[in-house]
Amino acid sequence: MPTIADKLAGLWPEIVMLLGAAACLAAGLSAREALRRLTPWIAGGAMAGAWALTLCAGGDAAHPLGLGGMVSFVKCMILALGIVLLLVCAGVPEALKQTAAAEGPGQRFDPGLSVRGEFYCFFLLSITGVMLTAGATDLVWLFLALELTSLPTYVMIAITRDRTVAHEAAVKYFFLGALSAAMFLYGFALIYGATGFTDFGLIRDAVAVSTETGLSDPSPLMLLGIVLAVLGLCFKVAAVPMHVYTADVYQGAATPVTAFLAVVPKTAGFAALILVLHLLGLDRLPIAVLYLLGAVGVLTMTVGNALAFIQSNLKRVMAYSSVANSGYMMLGLMAGLGVSGEALGNGPAAVLFFMLAYGFGSIGAFAVLASLSAQRVADGAGGTGVNDDLEYQDLAGLWWRSPVLGGVMLVSMLTLVGMPPLAGFMGKFFLIGGVLSAGFYGLVVVLVINSAVSAGYYLRIAMLTFFGESSTTPAEILPAGRRGPRVAGALVAGLAGLLIGGLPGNSVVRNARQAFEPVAAEDGGVAAPVARAQSGAPATESTARR
């Protein structure tokens, strides 16, 4: 079993991220304006350094569940998405009224009002939480990593918009997040009660022994723990029945922060779900868990698409779109769990690739929305102010006003709808292939029908961008100084959606598949618990005594 020193040696990317977060906080509170302006560059440098270290480290053959390849894949994926998100989020704290009051020309710097350092610090901390979630080897570690992912987002929502609606959204998100944390923590406690361990490897050893000594499924207490953990993690991925916060929170947050919420917590949630489900073994999931995942997946995609179809506010449309995409990925989790071999039959690998495609599609769409502004009545106070609550008519003719933004919006919508040859098509192709290979033909029909329904609102956005005519004044494009980094982020996301849908995407799919191939470690690797269970030998001294 790896020692604490061994675990710390594998956490250099996370250590670099934590150091970068501390540096951002210090630079943001500096009295020197030049140093304060460096905070986004420090954040970008930290993510680039962590990415390089992750690539150099490779997979972890000593991972107790044999998922060392998945760990490195998820870390590289979230760092790549994080760098693009940083471009979209750059300038958010600087545009706030309180930042202008704290750092305005001719004024003395007031560190109590400036949130520049805190914003980029929390940005890095949340992404670090995703990395720690993917690399978790213990239930306690997994819980703390998930909370590190979530807690900074509550503050990011509240501090990055000069409207009370942002504070309301942050409070809703916080209380529902606390409820979900209590739910999956209780599930973890039941898993510990059923097995006597918190370490992933020992838990799966205990499950393998119980199923090979007369029980067809894990104990009822273990199954109840898994069910509660899955339902609690549904909050992280915005899946039914824990989806009710999504539209209000996405609308209340600043648009760049909404892009962050659509990608980062969802990645952590699906990484955690893969880890939790792998505790039950490599071969198959119990029928109760399959029914749960299937029901949640079908309800999530159906409810998400139905509610997205009737919205007029674009951020609410994208919020329910995020819900629907979580439903697609929930079906991937139940299809071919832990199967090595061809990517077409590997459900978790398809989920990771689909998450990457969805991430770039969502970031591109939100980057375009963040580059626009609309004049609205703010907070019911009777005054007008610039905000980003855009509706369909605000996109009318965007292509003729900004071909770059219009083109990126088209690519993003086609990526999300799954049109070839874009990344979204490859993602849905492998996702459907995984569900088919598992024999869930009825679920494939539901997935295809829901995907067709989603085209109604995705293509409506694309059509308005090119051919729309509005009776109202369309949204203004922000000044070049404020939209520059966002346009760059939109371009990167759009190009990524194009590239990974073609030949380069084959290597990404191959890497996703290899992330779930068992790695032979010195202590027996991932095959050891199953081999021990099949031979009738006790998994460990502790399980033998039990």
* Residue 385 confidence (pLDDT) above 50: no
Q: From start to end of 299-436, where are the E strands?
A: 372-377, 384-387
Q: What's the angle, vertex CA 543, arms to CA 542 and CA 546, rounded to 5?
A: 90
* Residue 372 confidence (pLDDT) above 90: no
DSSP state letters, 97-141: HHHHHHH-TTS---TTT--HHHHHHHHHHHHHHHHHHHT--BHHH
Q: What is the average per-residue pLDDT within 416-431?
A: 89
* Residue 341 confidence (pLDDT) above 60: no
* Residue 481 confidence (pLDDT) above 70: no
pLDDT of residue 32: 84
Q: Of the given ranges (30-34, 175-179, 448-452), which has the lowest mean pLDDT?
A: 30-34
Q: Give a yes or no: residue 6 inside a domain.
A: no
> What residue numbers bound the domain in which 151 lies?
15-545
pLDDT of residue 125: 96
Tokens of 104: 């305005």
What percent of the chain is modeled with pLDDT above 90?
48
More confident residue, 509 or 324: 324
Q: What is the average per-residue pLDDT within 357-364?
A: 94
Tokens of 210: 């119980």
pLDDT of residue 293: 92
The Cα 327–Cα 298 span in angstroms is 6
* Residue 193 confidence (pLDDT) above 70: yes
Q: Give a yes or no: residue 10 inside a domain.
A: no
Tokens of 219: 């104990």
Q: What is the average per-residue pLDDT within 17-44?
A: 90
How many domains are contained in the chain? 1
pLDDT of residue 383: 37
pLDDT of residue 343: 38
pLDDT of residue 517: 65
| pLDDT tier, 29 (very low <50, low <70, confident <90, very high otherwise) | confident
Q: What's the angle, vertex CA 170, arms to CA 168 and CA 173, rounded to 5?
A: 110
Q: Give a yes or no: residue 479 inside a domain.
A: yes
Q: Give a yes or no: residue 5 inside a domain.
A: no
464: which residues sit within 8 A by CB, 6+ positions away? 392, 393, 395, 396, 398
151: which residues sit within 8 A by CB, 6+ positions away? none
In the three-class reduction of DSSP (H, G, I as helix; E, B as strand; rest coil), residue 204 is classed as helix
Q: Give a yes or no: residue 71 inside a domain.
A: yes
pLDDT of residue 70: 86
Q: Give a yes or no: residue 3 inside a domain.
A: no
pLDDT of residue 446: 95
Q: Of the given ranges (99-113, 251-265, 311-325, 396-410), which has the lowest mean pLDDT?
A: 99-113
Q: What is the average per-residue pLDDT within 305-314?
A: 92
| pLDDT tier, 529 (very low <50, low <70, confident <90, very high otherwise) | very low
Upstream peptide bond of 421 is cis (omega within 30 degrees of 0): yes
pLDDT of residue 114: 77
Q: Give a yes or no: residue 2 inside a domain.
A: no
Sequence letter at residue 165: V
Q: What is the average per-residue pLDDT within 490-517?
A: 75
| pLDDT tier, 230 (very low <50, low <70, confident <90, very high otherwise) | very high
